[in-house]
Amino acid sequence: MPISTAYTAKITHLQILKEDGTLDTALAQPGGGGDPSILTDEQVLFAYTKMIECRNLDETAFKLQRSGRMHTYPQNKGQEACALGSGLAMRVGTDWIVPCYRENAAMFLHGVPMTHVLLHWAGDERGNHFPPGVQVTPIAVPIGTQMLHATGIAWAAKLQKKDQVVCTYFGDGATSEGDFHEAMNFATVMNVPCIFFCQNNQWAISVPREQQTASETIAQKGLAYGATVQQVDGNDIFAVYKAVYDARERARQGGGVTMIEAITYRLGDHTTADDARRYRDQNEVEAWKAKDPMIRTRKYLESRGLWNDALQKEHEEKAEVTIKGIVDQVLSWPDPDKSEMFDSMYATTPAYLVKQRDTMQTHSLGQNPAQAGLKQAELAK
């Protein structure tokens, strides 16, 4: 038989806002130009103020952890354009956000109180109890599990004929997990309205992207399952917004799954339990600092006459007050009732767990102190 080409593919990379803060006029008109997939100046202004707020939250959370008032915390620093651009493109109260743990800004946009994120990382389960009507699932720490949840939510929406789209987030390392492949395969086979959003921040904890996967791009993994794929500059809020907006509309029209690879960088450590200086070249970090989405977005606003040093100072001070108020709320919350950890696992709590709950002990002596004299009584016989 003659040799023929069985399959060819091309993956495009989208950048609209250049690193110097100027828009690619072939792709966008300043201020939106009437195209709903292009951010307006008002939206960019709003997003930038949220970047300032979230960056302040990051720094504050870091200090809380270092001072022993909070447990491990993963900073979002450097990846804010991914969360904000995608969060703005999804419909609040209609679509679902299924996060990993670097999507604070998207979660806040969709109704999750800031207090709850800090409570979560302080180890307080009440941080996962979102207000009614908030269509965001709790933060997923196990790598990759949330993609399966997102696929299920999207399948349910399709079966119930609801006008809903689900956006789930994960890192480049998660695409080497089995959960990613199972979720992607099921989602594409069932043609569910789901967006798989990969924040490729170049590091799977301490393993560089080049070592944890042999794929030249993360996006091409979506091709293997029949998804529409798009690679974007993840530090370009315009590109992220457009890619997610287009994917959302495609899903609403029955176009199924889109996988988006957003090229970005984790400017901080993996978490506060990590020291990235042990494995990352500082020159690499400094090069990416120059690509910080906050710098790029501010340059754009300044070029449009919409931002200046005075506004920067004003909003930084405002953010400081806001975040201090959030922290004060969190630190003043009453301690949870320890029995709560037993109350939601079973419809009828087993006897052995009832005993643990009532005594707050797991060992037999703690659960029945009367045993302390049994050995002496036996020896006295």
Known catalytic residue at 252: no
Q: Find the catalytic residue in 110, 209, 248, 270.
A: 270
Burial class (CB in 10 A: 0-12, 13-18, 19+), 188: buried
- Please name which of 144, 167, 180, 175 lies closest in space to residue 83, comparing C-alpha atoms: 167
Spatial distance between the Cα atoms of 305 and 57, rounded to a whole number of angstroms? 27
Spatial distance between the Cα atoms of 7 and 307, rounded to a whole number of angstroms? 49
What single-letter amino acid sits at 227? Answer: A
Yes or no: say if 256 and 221 are a contact pair by the CB < 8 Å rule.
Answer: no
Q: Write the CA distances from 113 to 101, 126, 137, 169, integer angstroms.
A: 15, 12, 13, 19
Print burial letters for 227-244: b (CB count within 10 Å at least 16), e (below 16). Answer: bbbbbbbbbbbbbbbbbb
Between helix 41-66 and helix 80-89 the angle, nearest 10°, is 130
Spatial distance between the Cα atoms of 39 and 33, rounded to a whole number of angstroms? 9
Q: Find the catalytic residue in 266, 296, 298, 315.
A: 266
Spatial distance between the Cα atoms of 347 and 370, rounded to a whole number of angstroms? 31
Known catalytic residue at 279: yes
Known catalytic residue at 270: yes
Burial class (CB in 10 A: 0-12, 13-18, 19+), 6: exposed
Q: Find the catalytic residue in 66, 126, 277, 279.
A: 279
Enumerate the active-site residues.
266, 270, 279
